[in-house]
Structure 1
Amino acid sequence: MIPWLATSALAQTELPEMQVAAPRPALTAPTDADARLRLWSSPGANTLVPAHDFLDRPGTTGLRDMLEYTAGVFAQPKWGEDTRLSIRGSGLARNFHLRGVRLLQDGIPVNQADGSGDFQELDPLTFQRVEVLRGGNAFTLGANTLGGAIDFVTPTGRDISGVNLRAEAGSFGFLRSQISGGGTYGPMDGWISGTIAQQDGYRDHSGGSSGRLNLNIGYRISDDAETRLYFTHNSIQQDIPGAVSRSQALNAPRTANATNLAMNYQRNIDSYRLGSRTAVRLNVDTLLEFGGSWVTRQLNHPIFQYIDNRTNDFNLFARGTWDGTVGGLRNRLVGGINYAYGTTDNRRFVNFQGNRGAQTFSASDRAQTADAYVENSLYVLPRLAVVTGVSGGQATRSSDNRLNAALGGSGRWNWVNPRAGLLWQATPEVQAYGNLTWSTEPPTLSDLVALVPFGGFSALKPQRATTLEIGTRGTAGRFTFELAAYHAWVDKEIQLFMGPTSGTSFARNADRTIHQGVELAGTFLAGRDLLAERDSLTLRGAYTFSDFRFDGDATYRDNQLPGAPRHVLRAEARYRHPSGFWIAPNLDYVPEGFFVDNANTTRTDSYALIGLRAGAELLDGRLGLFLEARNLADRRYISSASVAPVAAPNAALFEPGLGRSAYAGARLRF
């Protein structure tokens, strides 16, 4: 650690509301302050979101609520706990599940081995922090894509001592309760959380229920060695209201898609995750980390057909960090490997009102992704590092169709992604950086299997991008900020195009596209001692400008890529009284709607949503009360949308935003 940086404002991180002083930090789970130092030792836009940013709110259920003030992340709710996620325009053509961003919990992948995944297995109440690494900055986590990675980190028994009870209730039948706790027992520590929730949903056929269990147990072998086991279980039942036409979304937003109602669309998940992580400090300069995981997941998913999938994913990783000197100059070297292997028993049946009918499809799918990386930071001056790195890997995908061998296929993709950058510690409080990074995204199995009749697995090439990024972050007086600008030249972007038959669309490669934007987030202490001694007024905001477009496409010329708005502004003013009471009005503003098709014929509307949050910390912080009112003006708007090559006027592509709602909750720690 750089001595002058460790004591600077960059190292100061507020602890989540549920934390108390730990007897000794865990080697396998760094503190928030240490994690921020690690993230900011890389010359790229990496953000740490502490849990107090979202745990002082009731009704927080998805990525949108956790990452609303993280610029560059477009995470909009669809229904229930599902979200449409894109970072810097990643996965814009993905109308279901996830592509282009690697999600992890405690460093253990949530995604399947082919890069696809779901969001609903993440429980916001269990996290100590969220780490967002955009684009190629995330290659140390095995993410070699345009979007990067998000790691959701749970507490350990060394972070928490005691028991935490939490209960919430709100609009549309929302109920949730949690019990969690942890502590240390000699060389051992443990933490456990159980959450149950249910909701009727804002829209027809959007109700759901869930039960989640998260557990980790650590054992301190010695002062320089520790191992930790993780266990997670999720049981989730969710009705799917589906996308509707633009007119329905704005004029009858609580209406479900008629087909979804008739066929009883659902997404039900039962998953278990078992993982381990071991950290060994070989000497004062060298840290070795390694571990692995096994995830099994049963997906029962009646939609156009009844999808019945059983997946098993295995992951291994090893990472070494050496922070010493070379020729009298400070040098930080990080290297490691990641390996993922997954199998899917992929079966489909006729969907008879949410029940299985005759079998229509059966395949054994396999995916394997392996990569290795190395990054070196040489401090040619005490506060200026020259950063170079490279990652390389290979992905294989195969599908063996049990009913028709001709509908199977396989493919293999290799890549090498170099990286170079500069990291300048301009002052003890402010950093500036720049980097040029390559990224590669292999296709997922669901995209490939659909193309078997139209050229096989070879019909889809990997998506590659070269991203130039500059930025700055730090603290200047009362202002804490993060600012980044980037320009990505994308080749063979995986995008939706018209299929060979009328009315069909498939994931195919575009020729060239451009992704560029500006990401700004900051907090300003506007005043102290305003109405009472030791009170404060804090302003917080995040602005994202996104310009994603085709680059001279033969059909779509320089049209905007559909799926994400060009401008998003979120802001909050929070007044905090020394008695523990606080109140925070907030604004969510999208000044310009976004297109939903490549042809740029149909778009959403602009909107501005006003909300109010309030709470109180009582009994020396042991009792927390919180309240939130959303969309106070009951504005009708479109939250997210699926995309298409060309959208018909009445196309069912739109997800209505949530109407006026209110939530309240309490938390007791003892």
Structure 2
Amino acid sequence: MPSRPRRRPNGRSLALLLAIGPLAATAAQAENATLEEISVVGEGGGAGAGAAFAAPRAAADRTVAAPTPLDRPVGEVVTSVGREGVIENRAAATVADILRNSPGVTVRQGNGPRDVVVSIRGNNARATGVSRNMVVLEDGFPVTQADGSSRFDLVDPRAYSRIDVFRGPQSAYFGNFATGGALNFVTRRGREIDGVEIGSDAGSSGYLNNYAAFGGVSGPIEYSLFTSDTRGSGFIEHNSFNTQTINFLGTYTPEPEDRFTLKIINNEVFTLLPARSSLNQFAINPFQRGCLSAATAAPGCTTFNLLLNGRNGATVPVTATEGAFLRGDRRTIVGGRWEHDFDAFTTWRTQLVFDDRNINQPFYTTSSRGDFPGLNFLTDVTRHGDLFGLPATGYIALAYNTLDSHQLTYNRLPYLGPRLGALTADLDATQSNLGGRARVELQLSDQWTAVAGISAENTTITGRNITYGYPTGGGITSTLANIDRSFLNVAPELSLLYRPDEAWQFRGRVAAGYATPSASNLVVTSAGVPGNNTGLQTQENLGFDLGTDWTPLPGVRFSLTGFYEFFRNELVTQSPGAGLLSYTFNAPASEHRGIEFGADWAFAPGWRATAAYTFDDQIYTNYTEQLSAGGLTRRFDRAGNHIPGVPANQLLARIGYDQPTGPLAGLGGYVETVFQDGFALDNANLLRAPGYAIVNLNLHYTTALTGYAKRLNMFFEVRNIFDKTYIASAQNLADTISGATGLQNGANVLANTTGSVFAGAPRNFIGGMKLSF
């Protein structure tokens, strides 16, 4: 087997040199927990446009970080989803159970129990594993690596106090990859936990989650620790899993002017992976029952052809069980931050994060093994003061992150466990982003606030990818593809807020975003095999938002936002067929336009209604697709076609009641429906995944206790009450042509193409309890 070349030294030490500068880094990644919780549909300006310009607190009161633009997102389109009704009184098994409460968010099942693919405004809706086109933070520490990849295996929803969803282009605020927006996960602080909480959730398909939270304050130290062990047998054949998570946040404040924060996350995931079906197989056998062996497989079972010798020649069909498809991954993040107040108006923050993603993924026809260590450095200064005699908040920021990609790809061998065949690709690359950002929030009057920002960032990707071939006549061939790409991107932002009174807020915004390709995008060809794809360009978008927020009474919030975004060189990923690698291409021009509506209405004592609706219409405006088969090549104009993977309409609607007083105080329940429209599966729009609507029922009880225990929480849920069979995830499919006629193959061919569909969960039951001490 070919030996792996020795790596050359890289420029990672630049991160340490940057640490000497006392200026600037991304306020988008700064400390984040001084806001009062806004439940489910808080929009627009966080605590309100004027709140960002409140006088700083006295030094004696500043025991936590001063607010930053991340905490008080003036001019941004933001939803903040809190614990009430979403985490506290239900088993939020994945981040999908939380984020579907926000308008503009689409969630899909990924390759694992908690591997949810998240998209904002349809960006990334076409992916089936790694989430891209957004920046993800946790307590202000980045959990998106330098290649733009985010995974949610490490996220156990029980750990969080709230999640803030930033919608629309955000590169002026968050830098590279924020074309869709950003997510900021906020863990529960020690003073919020104030003791120990122990809980357990159990349900259908062997689901069991045992978890504990510890937190408190001791002098200058505040700490919180969350840990969980989650297991299940899965509702699809060959889908058992277990995953363990540790999440720690600690703050040390020796003096009011100085704060030190330590963040640690570690997640281990092991999951068997079922096969992705074709649309026709899904209709016959959605949960892949009776698929232990290809020789005795039931109708509708999905099989993959693996090379008998792992190198070339004859293949044999295997099921997911015979192929022993699985993922065994680890993610470790360690971050530190120092915050210093120069005075009551100026705060300097500096942080450094080490992030290592280690993968072992022998599933389908290839196996990937790799290690992806990265560093993320930032430093910023936030200043509250006056500009032209008007109250203003400004920041200047400098950020640098880098990722080393070391990935080996092998053929798979059939039977007897997850055996590896011959090495087919060896990727060794470094991706780095270096940029600066600046932002100013200016209060023009009591009613008007203006925001302006800009980001400039240089991205470099260097390395090489070697692909190996094994001719049937013997020997080994190798092809070297060198990677040396550089991208320079600039993104401005302008927004204007008008607040005539306490009930109404109107906002307009124009902003740009950019997302560069990653090294892995550059080394898979349109044939779905390792090779040269280094011609990809930066994805860019320019978005316009216009919206209003209305809060006429306590407990009543309505928000409406219209958006129109113009994309250039949109990065689209799709599958060329069963067992092949997904590849990425640039669509020259496209448009995304839609409406987002959120509502939270406490319409009577104990009663509350919640809604989150999104209309998202996405079309190609300039894209000609080239398809080849045999010796024929044909070109097809896709302008006017809908971009695959994006549902036009989706809705979450919930109505519930909690008894506020009397002997039954704390007893409550709600019913909710989750609706998602159908969507195209291919660029020609020949085939559509059907939409669905499922209904869930929740009952819960919370009561204070006397003695050693302080509080008891219990709940029981029936999910998918009417046992709807639906698609939870569908990978886009590449259109094909006939090798004989050159005509485009029809929907019947696509409907029989495997490697696309995962079914959603059938009717299932889950219950749990939590004790607080």
Counting only pairs closer than 5 Å after superposition, residues 501-650 of structure 1 correspond to structure 2 as: 506-528=583-605, 536-554=606-624, 555-578=637-660, 579-590=665-676, 592-619=677-704, 622-646=711-735, 648-650=750-752
Corresponding position of 1:149: 182
CA distance in 1, matches of 2:397, 2:538: 23
SS of the equivalent of 2:205 reads coil
* CA offset digits 1:594-636 (Å, max 9, x no partner): 1111110111223221110110111257110011111100011
Alignment equivalent of 2:104, drawn from 47, 72, 83: 72
Corresponding position of 1:377: 441
CA distance in 1, matches of 2:484, 2:497: 42
Corresponding position of 1:246: 279
CA distance in 1, matches of 2:765, 2:572: 38
After TM superposition, give the deviation of residue 458 of structure 1 in Å. Answer: 4.4
After TM superposition, give the deviation of residue 39 of structure 1 in Å. Answer: 5.0
Counting only pairs closer than 5 Å after superposition, residues 77-226 of structure 1 correspond to structure 2 as: 77-78=109-110, 80-137=113-170, 139-226=172-259
SS of the equivalent of 2:173 reads helix
Corresponding position of 2:546: 470
Q: How many residues are matched? A: 641
Corresponding position of 2:772: 669
Q: Alignment RMSD, CA only?
A: 2.6
After TM superposition, give the deviation of residue 491 of structure 1 in Å. Answer: 0.6
Counting only pairs closer than 5 Å after superposition, residues 193-342 of structure 1 correspond to structure 2 as: 193-255=226-288, 257-259=302-304, 260-303=320-363, 304-342=365-403
SS of the equivalent of 1:55 reads coil
Corresponding position of 1:651: 753
Q: Equivalent pairs: percent with the same residue?
A: 23
- The answer to whether the Cα contact below 8 Å between 2:336 and 2:353 also exists between their aligned partners in 1 is yes
CA distance in 2, matches of 1:358, 1:504: 17
CA distance in 2, matches of 1:165, 1:57: 14
Q: TM-score, normalised by structure 2?
A: 0.79
Structure with higher Rg: it is: 2
Q: 1:254 to 1:107 in 2, by over 3 A?
A: same
AA in 1 matched with 2:382: T
CA distance in 2, matches of 1:194, 1:203: 27
CA distance in 2, matches of 1:357, 1:306: 9
After TM superposition, the structure 1 stretch with the greater mean CA deviation from structure 2, 144-153 or 516-525, is 144-153
* CA offset digits 1:526-581 (Å, max 9, x no partner): 212xxxxxxx1101111000001111434212010110210001111110102100
Corresponding position of 2:430: 366
Corresponding position of 1:47: 79
AA in 2 matched with 1:651: T
SS of the equivalent of 1:52 reads coil
After TM superposition, give the deviation of residue 496 of structure 1 in Å. Answer: 4.2
Counting only pairs closer than 5 Å after superposition, residues 441-520 of structure 1 correspond to structure 2 as: 441-451=515-525, 456=532, 458-477=534-553, 478-496=555-573, 506-520=583-597
Alignment equivalent of 2:454, drawn from 390, 393, 399: 390
After TM superposition, give the deviation of residue 428 of structure 1 in Å. Answer: 2.4
Q: 1:541 to 1:359 in 2, by over 3 A?
A: same
Is 2:60 the counterpart of 1:60? Answer: no
Corresponding position of 1:3: none
CA distance in 2, matches of 1:278, 1:482: 37
After TM superposition, give the deviation of residue 144 of structure 1 in Å. Answer: 4.7
SS of the equivalent of 2:158 reads helix
- The answer to whether the Cα contact below 8 Å between 1:83 and 1:119 also exists between their aligned partners in 2 is yes
- The answer to whether the Cα contact below 8 Å between 1:69 and 1:570 also exists between their aligned partners in 2 is yes
AA in 2 matched with 1:297: R
SS of the equivalent of 1:91 reads coil
Alignment equivalent of 2:482, drawn from 408, 421, 426: 408
Structure 1 residue runs of 5 or longer lacking an equivalent are: 1-9, 17-22, 529-535
* CA offset digits 1:18-51 (Å, max 9, x no partner): xxxxx988625x7xxx68x855542121121113
* CA offset digits 1:263-313 (Å, max 9, x no partner): 222121122211012222222222222201101222100022221111101
Q: 1:351 to 1:504 in 2, by over 3 A?
A: closer
After TM superposition, give the deviation of residue 654 of structure 1 in Å. Answer: 1.7
- The answer to whether the Cα contact below 8 Å between 2:126 and 2:574 also exists between their aligned partners in 1 is no
AA in 2 matched with 1:27: V
SS of the equivalent of 2:231 reads strand
SS of the equivalent of 1:136 reads coil
CA distance in 2, matches of 1:236, 1:370: 32
CA distance in 1, matches of 2:535, 2:174: 28
Corresponding position of 1:533: none
SS of the equivalent of 1:116 reads coil
* CA offset digits 1:203-245 (Å, max 9, x no partner): 0111100111111221102112211111111111011113212
- The answer to whether the Cα contact below 8 Å between 2:62 and 2:256 also exists between their aligned partners in 1 is no
After TM superposition, give the deviation of residue 247 of structure 1 in Å. Answer: 2.7
- The answer to whether the Cα contact below 8 Å between 1:505 and 1:644 also exists between their aligned partners in 2 is no
AA in 2 matched with 1:330: P
CA distance in 2, matches of 1:77, 1:145: 22
Corresponding position of 1:5: none
SS of the equivalent of 1:459 reads coil
AA in 1 matched with 2:542: T
After TM superposition, the structure 1 stretch with the greater mean CA deviation from structure 2, 363-372 or 489-498, is 489-498
Q: 1:553 to 1:295 in 2, by over 3 A?
A: closer
After TM superposition, the structure 1 stretch with the greater mean CA deviation from structure 2, 210-219 or 659-668, is 210-219
CA distance in 2, matches of 1:619, 1:49: 25
CA distance in 1, matches of 2:425, 2:531: 20
After TM superposition, give the deviation of residue 430 of structure 1 in Å. Answer: 3.1
Q: 1:26 to 1:206 in 2, by over 3 A?
A: farther
Q: TM-score, normalised by structure 1?
A: 0.90
SS of the equivalent of 1:193 reads strand
After TM superposition, give the deviation of residue 422 of structure 1 in Å. Answer: 0.5
- The answer to whether the Cα contact below 8 Å between 2:170 and 2:179 also exists between their aligned partners in 1 is no
Corresponding position of 2:44: none
AA in 2 matched with 1:322: R
CA distance in 2, matches of 1:544, 1:622: 37
SS of the equivalent of 1:250 reads helix
Corresponding position of 2:56: none
CA distance in 2, matches of 1:171, 1:349: 36
* CA offset digits 1:447-484 (Å, max 9, x no partner): 11114999955410001111011112241224212321
